[in-house]
Amino acid sequence: MTAPALLEVCDLSYAYGDHVAVDGMSFTLRRGEALGLLGPNGAGKTTTFSCLAGLRRPRSGELRLEGRTFLPFACDTDRAVLGLVPQEVSLYADLTARENLAFFGRIQGVAPEELDDRIAAALTLAGLEDRADHRIATFSGGMKRRLNLAVATLHQPPILLLDEPTVGVDPHSRHHLFAALERLRDGGASLLYSTHAMEDAQRLCDRIVVLDHGRVLAVGTHEELAAGVGEPGADLETVFLHLTGRSLRDS
Amino acid sequence: MSRLLRPAAAIAAKDLRLFFRDRVGLLLAFLMPAALVLAFGFMMQKAFGGEDGGMARAELWVVDQDGSAASRAFVDDLRGLAMLEVRPAPDDAPLSLEGAEASLRKGRAHHVLVLPRGFGDALAAGELPELRMLRDPGRSLEDTLVTIGLSSAYMGATQGRAWPAMLGRLLEQSGASPEAVRSAVAAAEQTRRLMEAALGRNDGKDAETGRAPEGDGGDDGQDGGSGLDFTAFMRDMVPLEVEDRLPPERAANLSHIVAQSVSGLVVMMLMFGLVRCATTLLRERDSGTLDRLLAAASPRDAVLLGKFLFTAASGLLQLAVLFTFAELVFHVGMFRDPVTLLVLSLSLTAAVTAFGMLIATWARSLEQANGFATLLILVMSAVGGAWFPVQLFDMPLPAEVAMRLTLTHWAMTGYQGMLWNGLGWTSPTLLTSIGVLWAFAVGASLLARRLFHRRVLPA
């Protein structure tokens, strides 16, 4: 049985001056699913995330959350349902892991009496219990990425926006990150996962939205996408190249 | 309201924590300003008075070609003047004319006084001995000091015996005929002799120095019986009685220049410090944390308010540390009126914080912010009177207007009014300063908020 829609993106558009980065994009994130946004560089993934996270005001289109209009740019309470994991590690290098978590917890409005428990849970999720009181500046890239994810979960948002969260991490940290994301999904969170790594999308995502030039090219499970391009059983990379073409993307 | 204040307070607390962990930042915020206040304060105190200070001193090298007792006495008189540092020192080898020329060429000396042969004889004969000055023409301040000192010593050395000749020279320069000059000089000489006679003094002075013998009292004119003290005469020529009136609210040993330099440097360094704090907004953007803050479930104005609170808190802390330091070192009476100090400091901190936020929200990059802020702060400090007391200068109207447009001017007016004039915060002068600072704070904050929404928040 198909899970109900949680977040609907309807005909979303955004332009940087004359350059249209997102061009009438529509897709649906269902409750408790991991939806992959798969596209080459410049496909519009990060801009779409920015619009969903309320960092950019869409030029046109509509966002709906559980059927009602969703305005993350204008309404700060709407943003409470979102947990953003930015592409870059966005932490304070001179604060410890615990101090970073405490700060972002307060910013997200976590009640003071719950904050310690939330921090402990986040540290466990990131596998950083024994490094809680070390400064981020002393962390490896993988540790920072794990904490970057954990920060977004402090206020227990029903939707996590993950913008290429595994870029540049070692296999151990990557494995830990995926395990953490799977736990979050199994716990009921909906994941919107942007990537251009096929194996990431294949491993984590229930369905995939293939994007290029700011448009949605196809939506479905891996099997549905493969069947859609007339190559049942093909791997995701073959399907992706079939949909997006083989020309280089340098922007 | 708490939805805005709670995250703003969290941002301010986080920034303060980071502030105290940044050793370079602490150095810039506290130690460097304290060192500058110390250096400038002592320098100004030494140069322009105060508890242990005196007049600025100019170095004067002397070539004594006469070598007479009179020329040596004249040099001793020069050594006794506060504004001159006479070289060579008494125990050093005398300076030759060639040596003086070489020192001037190498820039080691800027004024060299040559006492020619016959200096003592001329003095003894009641003539005006001709002096010669070799100088570096670019040292106008020292030139003024040397001229004042030399005039004073010269009047003292001639003991009035030369004043008929001086009168003759004055008449010559004024275009009088030679006959008229000769008549006037003769009459003056006659008058001088009558005066000497009236004082019971004859011309039987020391033939070498031209002065009354030791114990005769002729040199200091204190006994009133045997000498003409021209130095004192010049000083007392204007019937002026000087009485000191120290405002009771002012520290007894405070000099104007120390009050000026301490408050000027504190105001300037505060501006630099607070711009640095305010631009943490740009650092957040560059490091990606700003997006995380803006995507949070808090009002976006909380980010701006948090930065404002942090910047203002660090400003008050800097002011407290620097003023305490200045009080301990210079005893400027900073805490004599704590309420006025607090009101002024809050007003200044609010204004400078708003200025910093304006820069931070206007600039597209840290480099742009730092470059523009540095330029603006230096100009405001110079024009507004943080570096030197601009009220001493007769400024053209545009400069006067520019001065009144600076934060520095109003801050300096406030602190100078409190420290120097002992004014309280309810006095019209201070209320004006406080009002202008708050008007700037409110105006700049509103503009910064507008810029924050237009330029910092993504569209």
Residues of A in contact with B301 (CB under 8 A): none
B220 pLDDT band (50/70/90 cuts)? Answer: very low
- Contact at CB, B294 and A151, closer than 8 angstroms: no
Looking at residue A171, what is its pLDDT?
A: 87
B297 → closest Cβ in A50, A89, A108: A108
If asked whether residues B44 and B66 sit together in one domain, one would say no
If asked whether residues B41 and B78 sit together in one domain, one would say no
Q: Tally the domains of chain B.
A: 2
In a domain, B195, yes or no: no
Strand-pairing partners, residue B59, are: B85
**What count of CB pairs under 8 Å joins A to B?**
74
Tokens of B147: 């001229």
B7 → closest Cβ in A53, A82, A107: A107
Please state, as a whole number, how many other Cβ atoms lie within 10 Å of the Cβ of residue B175.
7
In a domain, B178, yes or no: no
Alpha carbon of B259: minimum distance to chain A alpha carbons (Å):
39
Per-residue pLDDT tens over the stretch B84-107:
899 998 888 889 999 998 888 888
If asked whether residues B10 and B100 sit together in one domain, one would say no
- Contact at CB, B294 and A104, closer than 8 angstroms: no
Euclidean distance between CA atoms A53 and B294, whole angstroms: 9
In a domain, B372, yes or no: yes
If asked whether residues B110 and B228 sit together in one domain, one would say yes
In the block, residue with structure tokens 């009476």: B333
Residues of A in contact with B459 (CB under 8 A): 56-57
Residues of A in contact with B26 (CB under 8 A): none
In a domain, B350, yes or no: yes
Tokens of A62: 């509509």
In a domain, B187, yes or no: no
If asked whether residues B25 and B125 sit together in one domain, one would say no
Per-residue pLDDT tens over the stretch B39-81:
877 777 666 654 444 556 789 999 999 999 989 989 998 998 8
The closest alpha carbon to A167, from A198, A145, A139, A199, belongs to A145
If asked whether residues B326 and B231 sit together in one domain, one would say no
Residue in B closest to A94 by C-alpha: B18
Average pLDDT rounded to a whole number, residues B360-386: 91
Euclidean distance between CA atoms A104 and A143, whole angstroms: 17
User: Per mean pLDDT, which range of A55-64, B186-195, B222-231, B446-455 is the poorest?
Assistant: B222-231
Question: Does B10 or B83 have the greater pLDDT score?
Answer: B10
Alpha carbon of B457: minimum distance to chain A alpha carbons (Å):
8
Residue in A closest to B8 by C-alpha: A107
If asked whether residues B108 and B62 sit together in one domain, one would say yes
In a domain, B215, yes or no: yes
Alpha carbon of A202: minimum distance to chain B alpha carbons (Å):
28
In a domain, B249, yes or no: no
Reported ipTM: the value is 0.91
If asked whether residues B209 and B152 sit together in one domain, one would say yes
Q: What is the pTM of this model?
A: 0.76
Euclidean distance between CA atoms A147 and A131, whole angstroms: 11
Mutate to test the interface with B, among A46, A70, A76, A160 (most CBs of B within 10 A): A76
State which residues form the domain around B439. Answer: 2-48+254-456
Name residues whose C-beta falls within 8 Å of residue B264's C-beta, 6 or more positions apart in sequence: B381, B385, B386, B387, B388, B408, B412
Mutate to test the interface with B, among A14, A71, A73, A103 (most CBs of B within 10 A): A103
If asked whether residues B266 and B364 sit together in one domain, one would say yes
If asked whether residues B328 and B262 sit together in one domain, one would say yes
| pLDDT greater than 60 at residue B224 | no
Max mean pLDDT range (B126-135, B226-235, B266-275): B266-275
Rounded-to-10 torsion of CA A93, A97, A103, A109: 140
If asked whether residues B394 and B448 sit together in one domain, one would say yes
Interface of B with A (CB under 8 A): 3, 6-7, 10-11, 14, 17-18, 21-22, 287-289, 291-300, 458-459
Question: At how many degrees (to 10) do helices B256-278 and B301-330 cross?
Answer: 150
If asked whether residues B331 and B290 sit together in one domain, one would say yes
B238 pLDDT band (50/70/90 cuts)? Answer: low
In a domain, B438, yes or no: yes
- Contact at CB, A55 and B298, closer than 8 angstroms: no
